[in-house]
Amino acid sequence: MNRTDDRPVTLVDEHAHAWSPKDARARFREGLTGPTAGVAAGHTQVNLISVPQDWAYDMLLFCQRNPKPCPVLDVTDAGSWSTVLADDADLRTDLPRYRVWRDGRLVDEPTDVRAYWRDDLVTFLLGCSFTFEWALGRAGVPVRHVEQGRNVPMYVTDRQCRAAGRLHGPMVVSMRPVPPRHLEAAIRESSLLPAVHGGPVHCGDPSALGIEDLGRPDFGDPVDAEPDDIPVFWACGVTPQAAVMASRPPFALTHAPGQMFLTDARDEQYRVA
């Protein structure tokens, strides 16, 4: 697999947690970039991938067969850049940064993809683990990457997703260091939000996932853990990007890892209890 490095980003404003989703989208439309963890607190964030219509069934089946990393919250009609998750939004302009893929290769990372848009593109919006971070914080679980003003670290694992048609590839995970006394709360609170990845897929030794060095994430930034912190791994919505790299569809658009689409939906809508 060809792995790509994240382009340096400009961290969003320290008051971004208080922005409305509409305000956040407007700022991103104007060119502000950066990881969106903590932005518009209390509102659901989603991953984005757009594929040609003749690949859309494969992508839908891939998501259905791999719901942990790819929980579907909305799918657009072909050519549409709108979503029921945010009525006034434009999916071509309202993310901090995008990625453009050709034949499985990253070719551009623009802040606006109108120049790349095609009438046959079907867009999938997938749940994001940033959504359950409010629940972690409310339960007293520290969220290190937010505290440190960094993008969440993400890693390509050696766990293969269930293939679907022409799509295949490994699962990607995000990692948050959690103090032992907060581990139970982290598992409980995230598990109550299955539409945004739910509970962890692994806690502890990263080598069990084929991860050799936590200090060298495949996407995002390394974070500083406290000495007794346990690395906790959640399935990640960057997984479709790993599938794009492995499967090489002729064209795709995605969000840049950690730079998500802000919806008007409230996080509580996806809590099961």
CATH classification of the domain holding 191:
3.30.2040.10
Whether residue 240 contacts residue 70, with contact meaning beta carbons closer than 8 Å, is answered with yes
Residue 221 is assigned to a structural domain of this protein: yes
Residue 149's pLDDT is what? 87
Residue 182 is assigned to a structural domain of this protein: yes
pTM: 0.92
Residue 56's pLDDT is what? 98
Residue 2's pLDDT is what? 40
Q: How far apart are CA 146 and CA 11, in angstroms?
A: 11
Residue 8's pLDDT is what? 39
Residue 5 is assigned to a structural domain of this protein: no
The tens-digit pLDDT sequence of the chain (273 residues) is 444 444 434 455 668 888 999 999 999 999 999 999 889 988 999 999 999 999 999 999 999 999 999 999 999 999 999 999 998 999 999 999 999 999 999 999 999 999 999 999 999 999 999 988 888 999 999 999 988 989 999 999 999 999 999 999 999 999 999 999 999 999 999 999 999 999 999 999 999 999 999 999 999 999 999 999 999 999 999 999 999 999 999 999 999 999 999 999 998 899 997
Residue 141 is assigned to a structural domain of this protein: yes
**Number of structural domains, the chain?**
1
Residue 137 is assigned to a structural domain of this protein: yes
User: Both tokens of residue 39?
Assistant: 């932005």
Q: What is the DSSP string of the chain?
A: ----PPPP-PPPPTTGGGS-HHHHHHHHHTT--S--TTTTTTEEEEEEEEEEHHHHHHHHHHHHH-TTT--EEEEPPTT---BTTBTT--TTTSSS-EEEEETTEEEE--S--GGG--TTEEEEEEE-GGGGHHHHHHTT---HHHHTT-PPPEEEEEEEPPPBTTB--EEEEEEEEE-GGGHHHHHHHHHT-GGGT-S-SEES-GGGGT---TTS-SBS---PPPTTPEEEEEE-TTHHHHHHHHH--S-EEEEPTT-PEEEEEEGGGG---
Question: What is the pairing mode between strands 121-127 and 105-108?
Answer: unpaired
Residue 12's pLDDT is what? 57
Residue 21 is assigned to a structural domain of this protein: no
Residue 190 is assigned to a structural domain of this protein: yes
Domain residues for the domain of 154 are: 131-235
Residue 207 is assigned to a structural domain of this protein: yes
